[in-house]
Amino acid sequence: MKLFFYTIFLVVIGTLTTFGQVYTGPISKPTSGYGSDGIYSIAIESFPNPDFPTENIRIFYPSGITSSVPTIFYSHGFGGYDPVNILGLLNFVARKGYAIVFVPYQASGVTNSQRYNNLLNGFIKAANDFPNIIDTTKVGFMGHSFGGGATFANAYYCFTNLNWGSSGRFIFASAQWYSLNISQTELLTFPNDVKLLTMVYENDITNDHRMANDIFNTINIPAAEKDYLLVKSDTISSYNYEAIHGLPNTASAFDALDYYAIYRHLDALCDYTFNGSLDGKEVALGNGSSNQISMPGGMNNLIQSDTPNFSNPESVYTYPCNSIQNPRKEHCDEFLSVNDTSTNTQIVLFPNPAKSMFYIETDKTISQIEIFNQQGLLVKTANTKNIPISELPNGLYFVKVNFTDKSLIMCKLIKE
């Protein structure tokens, strides 16, 4: 095992000194608050990866720590096993006082299950070999694309079998690919003390947003402890901020989208999860609050949803949700109850389609009814079983029925 401090590491991997580390665009980095760079110098552990011998596992962490720190376990996108691709993120996390574990996995010659095991084995090895750095009682799992889909199965294993995150745990999944090796039952019984932030990108034409929609709407995490954000593209002063599949990738672009859309929310999510900060919750899981969705310099704000249905026609995507590769393809267009896992709740919504009014019949006591449009935006609330909708434009809506026992059911409604 070798310990590299930051300056030494830059000599060994020369491209890291320049490649992908030039901040660009007209909007400056945040200088204070969530998303601003931390105060710590960076140290790096680099050690053999048993499942991918040519690519070492690395831990980026704050130099000079005298005890273990909360740790993020990062799962990279397919083929992105060079840490230079996300060096900005790795550095940011370490400067803020946390550790982040980067485990490369092979893109060819192995199965998807072997890739999942490669990630999981690397995370466990890092935790076992470096208990002086990694505090497994406070952990986050973060992943992008293939890695975003993989976070759920591997996090579930570590949460339920290893009891990681007993003092705080979260998942941050972005632009996720298919989620393998996790069953519907496991999603519906997922530890409900986990925080979840799901993020998709407006101009991602690689991974169908339906995969992220499905997992977010299904997983057994209370609505108050999870959020879903869509990052939009924009042009400011002739500079293109592109919310595409590769974000964040500091080997190709390094700008305000990295800092304000991703680093800021990760920073806040860590503060809320590990320190109990309500200010952090307001930014990371703010349910559409101004502090959560606002972007600087006239950029398009983020779009938040409690019931995401963001997607383009499946023909747009390289990896559509309904592909035979997706073990959850039958769930692509479903909206499922996230808190009500019983089978005896019955509800009738009629007429459907409806013109000016619809009605709800159920034996349970309703606390609130929320109606969302196809973009996942809340357009109406009610607390009676008779709901007038004449003011709503014609189209497809999603009706979220919340009960006083904290369960809920989601129904589709057509307004004509």
* Sheet-wide strand order for 2-5: 2-5, 42-47, 57-62, 99-102, 69-75, 134-144, 169-174, 195-201, 226-231, 303-305
Average confidence (pLDDT) over 47-68: 97
Buried/exposed code over 128-138 (b: 16+ C-beta within 10 A; e: otherwise):
eebeebbbbbb
Inter-residue contact 13 to 82 (CB < 8 Å): no
Average confidence (pLDDT) over 182-211: 95
121: pLDDT strictly greater than 50: yes
pLDDT tens sequence across 146-189: 999 999 999 999 999 999 999 999 999 999 999 999 999 999 99
The predicted pLDDT at position 321 comes to 95
250: pLDDT strictly greater than 90: no
* CA 53 and chain centroid, separation: 29
Give the global pTM. 0.80
**Confidence class for position 269, pLDDT limits 50, 70, 90:** very high
The DSSP symbol for 212 reads H
Does the N-terminal peptide bond of residue 62 adopt cis geometry, omega within 30 degrees of 0?
A: no
* Percent of the chain whose pLDDT exceeds 70: 91
The rounded distance, in Å, linking the Cα atoms of 39 and 65 is 13
The predicted pLDDT at position 400 comes to 86
The crossing angle, in degrees rounded to 10, of helices 264-275 and 87-95 is 40
17: pLDDT strictly greater than 60: no
Inter-residue contact 250 to 88 (CB < 8 Å): yes
The predicted pLDDT at position 253 comes to 84
**Mean pLDDT (the chain, rounded):** 89
Parallel, antiparallel or unpaired: strands 239-241 and 69-75: unpaired
Tell me which long-range contacts 274-282 makes (C-beta under 8 A, separation of at least 24): 274/70, 274/98, 274/138, 274/167, 274/168, 280/34
Six-digit token string for 261: 């859309």
The predicted pLDDT at position 346 comes to 66
Structural domains of the chain in order of their starting residue, each with its CATH number: 2-331 (3.40.50.1820), 347-415 (2.60.40.1220)
**Confidence class for position 256, pLDDT limits 50, 70, 90:** very high
pLDDT tens sequence across 332-347: 875 543 343 333 556 7
Average confidence (pLDDT) over 4-19: 34
pLDDT tens sequence across 350-374: 888 888 999 888 888 899 998 988 7
Six-digit token string for 267: 């920073």
Higher-pLDDT residue of 15, 64: 64
